Amino acid sequence: MNTFGRKFRVSIFGESHGELIGVVMDGVPAGLELSEQDFEQDILRRKSGAKGTTPRIEADRPTIVSGVFEGHTTGAPLTITFKNTNTHSSDYELFAAMPRPGHADLTAALKWDDCQDPRGGGHFSGRLTLPIVAAGVVAKKIVADATVLDETPCTTVEARIVEIAGQTECWQEVLDQAIKEGDSLGAVIECTVPDIDPGYGEPFWDSVESLIAHAVFAIPGVRGIEFGDGFAAARMKGSEHNDPIGPDGRPTKNGAGGANGGITNGMPIHFKTVVKPTPSIYKKQETVNIETMENEVMQYHTIILMLMKIERVNVEMILEWLERYSNIFREPISKCVNNYESGPWEALEELKNDISFQQLIRIVESLQAAVEQIPIREGFDELDTERAYHQEKRKESNERMIDRKSRIGKVIGFAPMVVLFVGYLIVPLCLIGMTSMTSAFSQISSMA
């Protein structure tokens, strides 16, 4: 789901190269002062353009669509949008067939059966952190006005980079080296909420740590989080990790990171977040060609449809034929054939575990059904329909490719004509005009 929270509910929408992206916030109290200018400072902190960040530059201007009237929130759902203007979708056409390592290209295709928007990473893009930042701006306004146990509001949330590529200082050199190599680097970000009242949070599922971690892991690229002493606590003794309680009823140190039993203890909430190296790099990486894999599975469909007409065909015979005409999946299928006599079901189950391509997994599941004494024809009763579906998808893909190449061809075809037109007509006319004007000015000057 794309929604987080209950009392303050945040829903994000849009894709990286769609018309716009945005956020809808429900539970925003009425009467908060809010304008587009309130978002500028936090949006500038996120903005790209610095060394090592994405080269994509956007205006990132927020538009308040609903929930604000005459400079104050109304209590109705608050909607904020951002337009996408700097998009180059053609740069991503290849990735539909060849998913990028470290990105969500493949998992999105498997989950949504290739119906996802692949342009710029679609809904999985880091671009979608912009509406999350907008929600953070509103959230900070809310908590600055809220109190639980005393009258001290929460007005500050601090965040800073404390480590890049394992180094705590002198980052410029490692950044320059990574950029030179066409690579990327990970980092650790330290976050602190210094002024927080005791008493927030619940035990177990809705603990302060659970909810913060839930929200933080929604940010693409986050790989870990620790509160207080964090993972270092595993190397400590209880006497070292425990926070002594002072005469004012609050801990005198903060190894717990600001919470005990899931509830804030009056100390600053303190946690560190690990951000992975961005997967968008210039180095050559290993991947697969999904179109080639689909073509091979389509070939399997044809083989099975032919073998189904043989009266005494069995699962082992089908596997031997698939092995004979395999290329990409030859190794796991050969392994299955070799292990078949030791146990057909187990060999096919191992084959399923060795492959990750869903279309081939469906074939293997049908073979498993046939092993259970179900006739081959019944095991593959939907094969004709599935084959027709994939043929239609391939047809649509080919039509899009032909249309794209046709447009490119038209541009290339007209280019020589445009050059000739400009070179032989426009340029001479401009020269003649300039010569005539020069002559006219000379005559006027001589008359004067």
Give domain limits for the chain: 1-146, 153-284, 290-381, 400-448
Cβ atoms of residues 141 and 25 within 8 Å: no
Q: Which of 73-87, 178-192, 212-226, 397-411 has the lowest mean pLDDT?
A: 397-411
- Please tell me the predicted confidence (pLDDT) of residue 103: 82
Choose which CATH entry (3.60.150.10, 2.40.10.410, 3.30.565.10, 3.40.50.10490) describes domain 1-146. 3.60.150.10
Q: Which amino acid is at 369?
A: A
Q: By the 8 A CB rule, do 322 and 358 touch?
A: no
Of 319-328, 338-347, 353-362, 411-420, the range with the lowest mean pLDDT is 411-420
What is the H or E stretch that residue 46 is in? Answer: helix 40-46
Asked if pLDDT for residue 433 goes beyond 50, the answer is yes
Same CATH topology for 1-146 and 153-284: the answer is yes
pLDDT band at 228 (very low <50, low <70, confident <90, very high): very high
Q: Are 64 and 36 in contact (CB under 8 A)?
A: yes
User: What CATH topology corresponds to 153-284?
Assistant: Chorismate synthase, AroC fold (3.60.150)
Q: Contact at 8 Å (CB) between 80 and 14?
A: no
Full-prediction pTM beyond 0.85?
A: no
Mean pLDDT across the chain, nearest whole number? 83
Per-position DSSP letters for 292-356, written without gaps between them: HHHHHHHHHHHHHHHHTTSTT--HHHHHHHHHHT-STTHHHHHHHHHHGGG-HHHHHHHHHHH--
Does residue 405 carry a pLDDT above 50? yes
Burial of 27 by CB count in 10 Å (0-12 exposed, 13-18 middle, 19+ buried)?
A: middle
Q: What is the pLDDT of residue 259?
A: 96
Model pLDDT, residue 20? 94
Mean pLDDT for 210-231 is 94
